[in-house]
Structure 1
Amino acid sequence: MLKSVDINLKRCFTLDLGRRKVNRGERTLNVNKLNDDLFKILSIGAIHTVYQPIVSLDNGSILGYEALSRIALKECELNIEELFQLASRQYKLWELERLCRSKALENAIHKPYHAKLFINVDPNVIHDPEVFAGFTWEKLNQYGLRPDDIIFEITEKSAISHMDTFTAAVNHYQSQQFKIAIDDFGSGYSGMNRVCAFSPNFLKIDMQLIRNIDSDTVKKSAVAAIVKFCKESGIATIAEGIETEGELKTLIDLNIDYGQGYYLAKPENKFQEISKEQQIYIGNANYEKNTIGVLGEIGALATKKNCVLENDNIFDIFLSMKNDPKITEVCVLDENNHICGMLTRSFIFEKFSGQFGYNLSKRVKAKSLLNHDFLEVDKKTPIEKVAELAMSRAFSQVYDAIAVTENGRYFGIVTIKDLLNSAISIQVNRAKCSNPLTGLPGNTEIQKRISSKMIDSRPFSLIYIDIDSFKPYNDAYGFSMGDQLIITLGNILKECAEQGEFVGHIGGDDFVIISDRHRSEVFCEKIIDLFSTRTKSLYTQEDADNGFIVSRNRNGFVDTFPLATISMAVVTNRMEKFSDLSKLSKVIAHTKKLAKMESGNSIVVI
């Protein structure tokens, strides 16, 4: 008879609450009880699954859900991570893995149709013979799921015992349309070596790199480097463990593709959306990030073209393309108008070529030949960003059309020709709308930006800047030097403006800054100091020493004038919300008048 042995585990366990880690410290556990708990969990299936949304940081839509296993045996003292460690020691790893995966897939029949399911996989079990034997395929068929619904998350925290076998297993899954994500990247063993070994579809950045990233410049630099690498490699990035608004905003600014964490949504038994407030925040943050230089959204270029359904015959698509050379691709939709994939002209014609291609492909359904690797963007995505995404694709896909969605459903198609024509149009419009002297946006864009603030309840400031004593300077030094004075101020404003702030040139010596925050005297004083320093070189030494210039006044008489200074009128919505453009214009004019009444450099904030 075996004796019950108590052991003191001399390591610190962690409690897995979704993606948060809580230290449990040392404790004494009964080994026999632990083993009994493991076998009981396996025998009665005492595991349940919760699901945490993985959210697009472009528009707040749901990419998918991570399936997180929880122990449903009340008397069990272990958490799920510890249970897996015990199962590994008892050679029951695949049995526990199979149970967790079964539970995750069983409940996934209730997930939104278009959403992906992220399933955690221990790297040392993925090449188990039973895995290859078709267990996952059997469950997919049982619950009406598809291979492209599933993303296997392989944790970076576990060492891989046989890398060659593991890589072969990953390649096997990818060849069957399953996608792969590296989990906890930045915390594990092989780093970039593992990424380069099998080119995953997703890379999940470990929460330790995300925590307080908004105030940690080293973490920002590290994550920015990861994003750059992934963009160039065609890998989508997912930030784990987002817990604050500051972290979320920083990750959006760093161009992370997707996010997951308690701040967005906690794991729940049911499949949930994030709140409308969070969706609006993500949309607004992206709008502000992409406003500079953006002259439109991709939806304006999209055209609705003929689409096909998953069960349509591929032969009918072939005939349509054969009869109409303008059909270069078709989107394949499900019954809910979600895009399942895309079929290109070259791919279809290839299938019907050769001695047997015609007969073999004639009765095939569209869903069996889908290309799932296509570029899909929301209709509100800026045109410039779409062009960047399109050009970063693999060379063989660079000229493929782009699918455009609205609320996750088919909206239209944009071809590369459309993008090129748009780029030309953008350059023409910029030339028309920009001030030729400073290159800054002119009145048309300024009016558009101000109007957009009328429908936005978030903080903003409108800063009006003009040069005092500009005419005397222009008369004394000539138009060329007057232009240099204006250019100098324009460059200073561009330099001082932070990300998301808009700088416009109204005309002459008048400028405007539109900010998404309440600006104060401190910001204005920095501009004034730079202007005072840099404009000294635009005067003769004598005028600079005197502190004035001699020029003619408006009546034509010689007079003395002070050196150029600037007046800054700042209007914010801190105390008053503006919903009427004419009212805002009156307040701006009044504030500007107050600033001009003061001599020398002046700042008036309302």
Structure 2
Amino acid sequence: MKSKWLSIVEKLDYAFQPIIHSHSGKIFAVEALLRNAEKISKIDDIQSIFDLAFKDDYLYQADLLLRDKAIKKFSEINIENLQLFYNLDNRIIHTKNYSKGNTKKILSKYSLNKNIICYELSEKGTLKEQDALIEMIKTYKSSDFCIAIDDFGIGVSGLKLLYFSQANIIKIDRFFISNINTDSKKKLFCSSIINMAHTMGMKVVAEGVETLKEFYTCKNIGADFIQGYFVQKPTVNVDEIKPIYKEILKYIIQEKRTNEILPIADEYIQYIVPFNINSSLHSLFLYFKEHSNNHFAPVIDDYENLVGVIYEVDIKKISYSQYGLSLAQNKSYSSQINQYLKHAMSIEASWGIDKTLEIFNHDPNSSGIFITKANKYSGFIDLRSLLQLSHKRNLEIAENQNPLTKLPGNKQIELFIYKSLKNREKFISHILYFDFDNFKPFNDFYGFRQGDRAILLFAELLQKKYPNDTFIAHIGGDDFFIGIKNSTIEDVYALTKETLDEFRESAKNLYNTVDKQNGFFCGKDRFGEERTFKLLSCSCAIIEISSNSKKSNFDYTLNIMKKYSKNLERPICASF
């Protein structure tokens, strides 16, 4: 059997596909992808190789041969601080020959650090395979390996897996990335997953990015890493792997999106000297002695990646004991330093103030948040600074939001329009102006409290219907504003029509039974004359801002559109 599989593995090769940082174009990792399956008799595809190995009861041994082959070829890439994403078959955990420690032996063989490897475990498969997946994650996490969940979103366990897995990285499946720039449902799904993953301390890879618009959308909804043909197709030639993808960097610079992500000022970030995970326990004692004001140590690996935190209180029992120093100098005991390592709440600097505060609010008992830049340790924001930052941000929000709906007000609206017009050569924007129909007589007849309920109903509906990255604002009274970037007019129109229809139906519940049944109510018009009015509805004017738009025509076009929209039961669209 060994001879058979040595022959099979000999015929196979590995191609590497880069995974890059979405905000810099720098390479983060490469994924190892098997090639040459067609050279093996009676094999149709890559999956068939693993199915055959499983049938031969040789799955784990075959995987070790492939693992050695992938790691050996990876060692030929001359790029520092690079990770290898290696795919594992979930069934390995149930093979009788499975044992721990083999990866470390292979890495040692090629003089590679343990931190370079990240195991990809696929979410797709049957319920039985999901159990194997969770067991695999626990097993490899217990050995301190980086874990990525592949094909996220198409498996049967979904959010349950996200909750229980404690993976380091999730990779959103290509299905959800394809045409994400024009599919509002995909954008909503992915942005929600990214937000949840970030809150739980996980990073996100957008898989299968093939176009510039997909790249921009994934980057701007918060994906940390990008992988796909848009960056580079898988290559068997390691010399084609680059430390930075300058073409991607050019696109990032060209876009220069001044979106609503507010950077964290340096004044709130303090640099706490980190401790290397590969140092001795004795060195850790000396660290706390030298840095006597530190009650904890941020822990990094040899590549300066943040891997966790060690609290002084957890080692005091040993450090103050009679034999503590002797134990710490003992190599066999010092190797157990991982037992003191705790999870570190961290955020990427590029996530900005609002997401930092959001993540902190999920664990208010934390003493602070660590900051990373492209995964590398950068600093720490303590509790006092977070509270100051939160207070300052709340004041800023309160000054610029509508007091009833708590939505952004006219200052942010003006800024959005300004940015959209300024960047019209780089991306398309859509501006939506909403105005209730027959709101004044309704407000006069039913009272301002019921009028406020109508306004709040509409505000909540907008936030429910439109994707998370939509700019939703309240001009005042019954006038609302929405700004959308990088969507098609067809998608914007369809979603808006659906929203207006839903509001028309929901607003009926604000009327008494008789008026609701009649479909109208009696009230006074602006001249004090008694007449009938239709039930509440809403008009919408949609304006597209593109490279063909002229700034001087904006105000005129908007006024005309607002006027004509009042006579229609559906949105009205125009470009200028």
Equivalence map 1:484-495=2 (5 Å)? 488=454, 491-492=457-458, 495=461
Asked if the contact 1:49–1:70 (Cα under 8 Å) also holds between the matched residues in 2, the reply is: yes
Asked if the contact 1:210–1:219 (Cα under 8 Å) also holds between the matched residues in 2, the reply is: yes
Does residue 538 of structure 2 align to residue 573 of structure 1? no
2:5, 2:201 → 1: CA distance?
Answer: 41
> After the TM superposition, which of the residue ranges 100-109 and 48-57 deviates more from structure 2?
48-57
Change beyond 3 A, Cα 1:285–1:250 = farther
**Match in the other structure for 1:14:** none
**Deviations 1:476-517 (CA, angstroms, capped at 9, x unpaired):** 959x95786587457536634622332333456664332324
Give the C-alpha shift of residue 318 in structure 1.
4.5
Equivalence map 1:365-404=2 (5 Å)? 369=337, 371=341, 373-390=343-360, 399=366, 401-404=368-371
TM-score normalised according to structure 1 size: 0.65
Does residue 282 of structure 2 align to residue 305 of structure 1? no
Asked if the contact 1:329–1:401 (Cα under 8 Å) also holds between the matched residues in 2, the reply is: no
2:471 pairs, out of 495, 499, 502, with: 502
Asked if the contact 1:49–1:67 (Cα under 8 Å) also holds between the matched residues in 2, the reply is: yes
Change beyond 3 A, Cα 1:465–1:186 = closer
1:604, 1:80 → 2: CA distance?
Answer: 49
1:71, 1:55 → 2: CA distance?
Answer: 26
> After the TM superposition, which of the residue ranges 142-151 and 315-324 deviates more from structure 2?
315-324
- Code of the aligned partner of 2:72: E
SS state at 2:235 partner: coil
Equivalence map 1:440-519=2 (5 Å)? 440-453=407-420, 454-455=422-423, 457-464=426-433, 477=444, 481=447, 488=454, 491-492=457-458, 495-496=461-462, 498-499=466-467, 500-507=469-476, 511-516=480-485, 517=487
1:169, 1:592 → 2: CA distance?
Answer: 57
Asked if the contact 1:486–1:509 (Cα under 8 Å) also holds between the matched residues in 2, the reply is: no
Does residue 37 of structure 2 align to residue 69 of structure 1? no
Asked if the contact 2:168–2:201 (Cα under 8 Å) also holds between the matched residues in 1, the reply is: no
Asked if the contact 2:427–2:546 (Cα under 8 Å) also holds between the matched residues in 1, the reply is: no
Give the C-alpha shift of residue 187 in structure 1.
8.2
Change beyond 3 A, Cα 1:219–1:450 = closer
- Code of the aligned partner of 2:546: R
Q: What stretches of structure 2 of length at least 5 have no aligned partner? A: none
2:114, 2:527 → 1: CA distance?
Answer: 81
Change beyond 3 A, Cα 1:279–1:72 = farther
Give the C-alpha shift of residue 136 in structure 1.
2.4
Equivalence map 1:233-312=2 (5 Å)? 262=229, 265-269=232-236, 270=238, 271=241, 277=248, 296-298=262-264, 302-308=268-274, 310=276
Change beyond 3 A, Cα 1:391–1:59 = farther
**Match in the other structure for 2:167:** 201
Asked if the contact 2:8–2:40 (Cα under 8 Å) also holds between the matched residues in 1, the reply is: no
**Match in the other structure for 1:428:** 395
Equivalence map 1:8-407=2 (5 Å)? 38=5, 40-41=7-8, 45-54=10-19, 64-71=29-36, 78=43, 79-88=45-54, 93-109=59-75, 110=77, 112-123=79-90, 125=92, 132=99, 134-154=101-121, 173-180=140-147, 199=165, 201=167, 262=229, 265-269=232-236, 270=238, 271=241, 277=248, 296-298=262-264, 302-308=268-274, 310=276, 318=285, 321-322=288-289, 326-332=293-299, 338-339=305-306, 341-347=308-314, 349=316, 352-361=319-328, 369=337, 371=341, 373-390=343-360, 399=366, 401-407=368-374
1:442, 1:263 → 2: CA distance?
Answer: 38
Change beyond 3 A, Cα 1:383–1:276 = farther
Change beyond 3 A, Cα 1:550–1:246 = same
2:185, 2:105 → 1: CA distance?
Answer: 46
Q: Which fold has the larger relative contact order, with Cα–Cα distance below 8 Å and residues 6 or more apart in sequence?
A: 2
Give the C-alpha shift of residue 434 in structure 1.
1.6
Change beyond 3 A, Cα 1:236–1:168 = same
Aligned residues, how many? Answer: 543
1:411, 1:210 → 2: CA distance?
Answer: 32
Give the C-alpha shift of residue 381 in structure 1.
0.8
Asked if the contact 1:376–1:405 (Cα under 8 Å) also holds between the matched residues in 2, the reply is: yes
**Match in the other structure for 1:26:** none
2:323, 2:357 → 1: CA distance?
Answer: 39
Change beyond 3 A, Cα 1:549–1:230 = closer
1:150, 1:521 → 2: CA distance?
Answer: 46
Asked if the contact 1:437–1:487 (Cα under 8 Å) also holds between the matched residues in 2, the reply is: no
Change beyond 3 A, Cα 1:226–1:537 = closer
Asked if the contact 2:507–2:537 (Cα under 8 Å) also holds between the matched residues in 1, the reply is: no
**Deviations 1:52-72 (CA, angstroms, capped at 9, x unpaired):** 345678987765333223349
- Code of the aligned partner of 1:440: L
- Code of the aligned partner of 2:548: E
Equivalence map 1:493-572=2 (5 Å)? 495-496=461-462, 498-499=466-467, 500-507=469-476, 511-516=480-485, 517=487, 545=522, 548-551=525-528, 571-572=543-544
1:147, 1:362 → 2: CA distance?
Answer: 23
2:484, 2:558 → 1: CA distance?
Answer: 17
SS state at 1:381 partner: helix
